[in-house]
Amino acid sequence: MKPTNSKILVLILAVGVFGILNTEMGVVGIVPDVSAAYGVSVAEASLLVSGFALVVAIAAPIMPLLFSKVNRKTVMLLTLGIFTVCNGAAAFSPNFETMLALRVIPAAFHPLYTSLALAMASQMGTPEQAAKASARVFVGVSAGMVLGAPVSSALASALSLFASMMFFALVTLVVFVATVFLVPSLPVEHPLTYGEQLSILKKPLLWSSFVSVMVLNGAMFGFYGFLADYLESGLGLAAAATSAMLLGYGAANIVGNVAAGRLLAKMPVRTSVVMPVVLLVAFAALFYAGGLQIAACAMLCLIGILAGIANNVNQWLVSTAAPEAPDFANGLYLTAANLGVTIFTPFLGVFISNGGSIASDLGVMGLLVIAFGLILIRRAVSHTRNARRSRNVMGSTCPR
């Protein structure tokens, strides 16, 4: 593929994953509006978020495997088409049950597009070019994760819930049209059998990476799930200042994704090992800043940058553990990431219930210590694998 076409493809993939992740997380910003519009409790309305995430976690290793032999462009159009139709139909939902059903259907295809985008980016050119392409795709991931909620909330407040839901559909529709006209046919040149892809489940390095991602991502996005409450209850910020900080955190996250491309291209192993430690220091500083609003907000912007880098590290950990089956490996990465959020968000909630919002820092720091230990174990497993490979190569070249 020509470089210019590669750049266009990366841009389309980045905006595409933004639309996909925006559909998932953007609803966070309109849960109260859904509750009021359909006469359900906030807890019931939040099923639009938790139910979506659960379906993603279940479908993540299955869908990329099933569609691994299908033309990449076909997969992109299928997923974007389903998201566009379901998001548009959800805006006209006559009741909450219909809206929930229209959320579940695209959720099953979420990991299909996201894992495909990450896999395609990781295979573009040299390792350095691939790292930068992956980072650009992750800009779309982060933008969808952290900007979708404030944007959807603002649209619902300024216009209506209908306008907010149609925004989700509009983004994926634009990417669908761009894919039709700007992306060439992308047949799978060397399709792997299902058995070949499933064989990566035998690799200790993959499982050590899987568990590392669960804990590290659980720490990052578990904390983000409580960030609005942290800003309002913990730091005492007004509603307008809280919205501004959420946007600031999202922008910082995107900056971290750009920086991650360079770091993982030049020193991937060192970055993966150091990142939990740097985050640990940042959260310790945030905790000791206490209720000092300016200092705490400055540390949160720094943490936003570091979290953006950590997101890329997570994907690197899993994808490099099984590069021979990139689609399936990235699907497993999405499962690990979503399971981490599902498991460790309640864990951080316990700290908040017992010590207030700022106490969540302590829970995050504990998880980061565990993540650091797990990444060290992963590194040891990787060294053992490489040493075994070296011995096998030397044995095969020795005269008999």
Q: Is residue 32 one of the residues assigned to a domain?
A: yes
CATH number at residue 14: 1.20.1250.20
Q: Is residue 213 one of the residues assigned to a domain?
A: yes
* Pair (127, 249) in one structural domain: no
* Pair (179, 34) in one structural domain: yes
Nearest CA to 224 among 354, 132, 311, 100? 311
Q: Is residue 152 one of the residues assigned to a domain?
A: yes
Alpha helix (H) residue ranges in the chain: 3-25, 31-38, 42-45, 47-59, 63-66, 72-90, 96-107, 110-122, 127-158, 161-182, 194-198, 204-225, 227-229, 239-266, 268-289, 293-319, 326-355, 360-397
Q: What is the secondary structure of 92-108 as a DSSP string?
A: T-SSHHHHHHHHHHHHT
* Pair (119, 151) in one structural domain: yes
* Pair (151, 247) in one structural domain: no
Question: Which residue, of 191, 208, 243, is where some domain finishes?
Answer: 191
Q: Is residue 52 one of the residues assigned to a domain?
A: yes
With contact defined as beta carbons under 8 Å apart, do 206 and 261 qualify? no
Question: Which residue, of 174, 191, 208, is where some domain finishes?
Answer: 191
Q: For residue 18, what are its two tokens?
A: 């933004």
* Pair (172, 219) in one structural domain: no
Residue length, the chain? 400
Which residue numbers in the chain have pLDDT < 50?
1-4, 398-400
* Pair (78, 128) in one structural domain: yes
pLDDT at 275: 93
Q: Is residue 201 one of the residues assigned to a domain?
A: yes
Those residues whose C-beta lies under 8 Å from the C-beta of residue 9, and which sit 6 or more positions away, are: 1, 120, 182, 183
* Pair (142, 289) in one structural domain: no
With contact defined as beta carbons under 8 Å apart, do 29 and 156 qualify? yes
With contact defined as beta carbons under 8 Å apart, do 130 and 4 qualify? no
Domain count, the chain: 2
Instruction: Give me the long-range contacts of 262-269 (CB less than 8 A, separation at least 24).
Output: 262/131, 262/132, 262/135, 263/309, 264/131, 264/134, 264/135, 264/312, 264/313, 264/316, 265/127, 265/128, 265/131, 265/132, 266/128, 268/131, 268/316, 268/320, 269/379
CA distance 15 to 11: 6
Taking only the tens place, the pLDDT of each residue in 175-232 is: 899 888 888 887 877 777 778 778 888 889 989 999 999 999 888 877 877 777 788 7
Question: Which residue, of 127, 161, 191, is where some domain finishes?
Answer: 191
- In the block, residue with structure tokens 């307008």: 240
Give, rounded to a whole angstrom, the gap between the first and last alpha carbons of the chain: 44
> Can you give the residue range of the structural domain that contains 68?
1-191
Q: Is residue 400 one of the residues assigned to a domain?
A: no
Q: Is residue 184 one of the residues assigned to a domain?
A: yes
* Pair (14, 43) in one structural domain: yes
CA distance 103 to 160: 19
Backbone phi and psi for residue 177, each to the nearest 5 degrees, phi listed first: -65, -45
Backbone phi and psi for residue 118, each to the nearest 5 degrees, phi listed first: -65, -40
* Pair (175, 218) in one structural domain: no
With contact defined as beta carbons under 8 Å apart, do 145 and 28 qualify? no
* Pair (132, 278) in one structural domain: no
pLDDT at 388: 67
pLDDT at 220: 86
* Pair (8, 150) in one structural domain: yes
* Pair (106, 10) in one structural domain: yes
Q: Is residue 311 one of the residues assigned to a domain?
A: yes
